[in-house]
Amino acid sequence: MKLEQYHPEFDKVIEHIKVDIGTLRTNRATPSMLENLMVEVYGSKMPLNQLGSIQAPEPRMLTVEPWDKSVLKNIEKAIQTASLGLNVSSEGTFLRIALSPMTEETRKELIKVLNDKLESGRRSLRGVRDDVKEAILAAEKNKEITEDERYKLVEGLDKLVREYNDKVEELGKKKEEEIKL
């Protein structure tokens, strides 16, 4: 039994956290703010990045150009109802989205949301850790590994979880700095 086989599960959690906090607004326009915004089109909901191109031509401006111009109104409505503090204007074939300046209150609220998302990510990491630890204990019970090997694996697992928690902290600090700018 090797801990390396569980790295992809931990990596999935980190990727999920990156996507989740990527949607949080900062004072700088980034396409990731809108990429996963769900838009009601063709009788179902689809992420915006599958409906058109999202670009940031200026630091506080985004443009969305749908590949199918008939969904422009649907995209505009989805952005307006998402409560992201964005001002949307239709330019005929594309949307221009301006970021309004953030207030101190908005920043504090976003940092709270960020911390909630990070804590949720940490819980997910603990869940993966618990699953791996159960697998280690089951392997010992089934005589696949010795008690010494179990001890080393659990020790290695704890070290691995600390490394992934450090990655979560790093992501959080970076995003918090972006929010405070």
Q: What is the domain-level CATH number for residue 136?
A: 1.10.132.20
What does the pLDDT read at residue 174? 93
Domain boundary among 74, 99, 124: 99
Residue 50 structural domain: 28-99
Q: pTM, whole model, 2 decimals? A: 0.73
Q: For position 94, which CATH number holds? A: 3.30.1360.40
What does the pLDDT read at residue 22? 82
34, 76, 73, 28: which is closest to 53 by C-alpha? Answer: 34
Enumerate residues 6+ apart whose C-beta is below 8 A from 150.
136, 137, 139, 140
What does the pLDDT read at residue 6? 92
Residues 13, 40 within the same domain? no
Residues 51, 89 within the same domain? yes
Enumerate residues 6+ apart whose C-beta is below 8 A from 64.
34, 48, 52, 53, 54, 75, 79, 94, 95, 97
Query: What is the full per-residue pLDDT of the chain (181 aa) written as tens digits?
Result: 788 999 999 999 999 999 888 878 777 888 888 888 899 998 999 999 999 999 999 988 999 999 999 999 999 999 988 877 788 999 889 999 998 888 898 889 889 999 999 999 999 999 999 999 999 999 999 999 999 999 999 999 999 999 999 999 999 999 999 888 7
Residues 111, 167 within the same domain? yes
Domain boundary among 75, 99, 123: 99
Terminal-residue alpha carbon distance, the chain = 46
Query: How many other CB atoms are found less than 10 A from the CB of residue 165?
Result: 16
Residues 77, 10 within the same domain? no
Residues 107, 95 within the same domain? no
What does the pLDDT read at residue 101? 82
What does the pLDDT read at residue 7? 94
What does the pLDDT read at residue 32? 84
Between CA 32 and CA 47 the distance in angstroms is 11
Task: Note whether 170 and 17 are within 8 A (CB).
Answer: no
Q: E strands within the chain?
A: 38-41, 44-47, 52-58, 61-66, 86-90, 95-99
